[in-house]
Structure 1
Amino acid sequence: MQAQAQTRGDVLQGVQQFGVAPGARKMMDMEEEAAQQAIETGLYVVYRNNNGQDCTRVGPSSKCFCGHYYRDHAFATRKSVYPHCASCACRAFAFVPQRPEEVGDWWLVRRKGFNVHTWRAKCRCGHPHEEHDPNTKRCRCGCAVFVSNFACLACDKKWEDHETVFETTQERLAAGRTAGEDFRPLAADGEMRGHVFRGG
Structure 2
Amino acid sequence: MERIYTGKTTVDAVNAYVEYRRIVGEDDGGRLFSEAEYEEYKRRVMPARVHNRLYVSFGVPGKIDCKLVGPETPCFCSHRFKQHQTDFEELPTERPIALPCRVKGCRCGAYQYVHHVGSQAVRCCCKHSPSEHSEAADHLCKKCSTCTGFQSPYTCGCGQPGHAHVTLVESREERESRGLPVGRAVPYAAMGGLTGFSSLAEGYLRLDPSGSGLPPHDIASPARAEQRKEHKGAYGTLSETSGNRKGADENDMVSPENCYQARLRKEKKSRHEWMPKKPSGPLKVAGKRMQN
CA contact (8 A) 1:132 1:139 kept: yes
Query: Percent identity of the aligned residues?
Result: 27
| Aligned ranges 1:142-181 → 2 under 5 Å | 142=145, 143-153=147-157, 155-180=158-183
Query: Which of 65, 76, 79 is the matching residue for 1:68?
Result: 79
1:136 Cα offset (Å): 0.5
1:42 matched residue in structure 2: 53
Query: Which of 137, 140, 144 is the matching residue for 1:138?
Result: 140
Structure (1 or 2) with the larger CA radius of gyration: 2
1:172 Cα offset (Å): 1.1
SS in 2 for 1:171: helix
CA contact (8 A) 1:66 1:130 kept: yes
Indicate how the Cα distance of structure 1 residues 163 and 150 shifts in structure 2: closer, same or farther if over 3 A, else same.
same
Query: Which of 109, 117, 127 is the matching residue for 1:91?
Result: 109
Q: Superposition RMSD on alpha carbons, in Å?
A: 3.1
Stretch moving more, 144-153 or 120-129: 144-153
Matched to 1:172, the amino acid is R
Matched to 2:183, the amino acid is G
1:55 Cα offset (Å): 1.0
Which is helix-richer, 1 or 2? 1
| Aligned ranges 1:9-48 → 2 under 5 Å | 42-48=53-59
Matched to 2:153, the amino acid is N
CA contact (8 A) 1:46 1:166 kept: yes
When normalised by structure 1's length, the TM-score is 0.58
Indicate how the Cα distance of structure 1 residues 58 and 157 shifts in structure 2: closer, same or farther if over 3 A, else same.
same
CA contact (8 A) 1:147 1:160 kept: yes
SS in 1 for 2:121: coil
Stretch moving more, 174-183 or 54-63: 174-183
1:161-188 Cα distance to aligned partner (Å, 9 max, x none)? 1111112222111222222169421574
Indicate how the Cα distance of structure 1 residues 70 and 178 shifts in structure 2: closer, same or farther if over 3 A, else same.
same
CA contact (8 A) 2:58 2:65 kept: yes
1:141-178 Cα distance to aligned partner (Å, 9 max, x none)? 1200111031222x122222111111222211122222
SS in 1 for 2:173: helix
CA contact (8 A) 2:54 2:86 kept: no
- Distance between the aligned counterparts of 1:91 and 1:45, measured in 2? 15
Matched to 2:129, the amino acid is P
Matched to 2:156, the amino acid is C
When normalised by structure 2's length, the TM-score is 0.41
- Distance between the aligned counterparts of 1:48 and 1:139, measured in 2? 24
Unaligned 5+ runs, structure 2: 1-21, 23-48, 185-193, 199-205, 215-292
Q: Could you say which structure has the greater relative contact order, defined with CA pairs below 8 angstroms and 6 or more residues apart?
A: 1
CA contact (8 A) 1:63 1:97 kept: no
- Distance between the aligned counterparts of 2:167 and 2:53, measured in 1? 16
Paired positions, count: 137
Matched to 1:91, the amino acid is G
1:48 Cα offset (Å): 2.1
2:122 matched residue in structure 1: 121
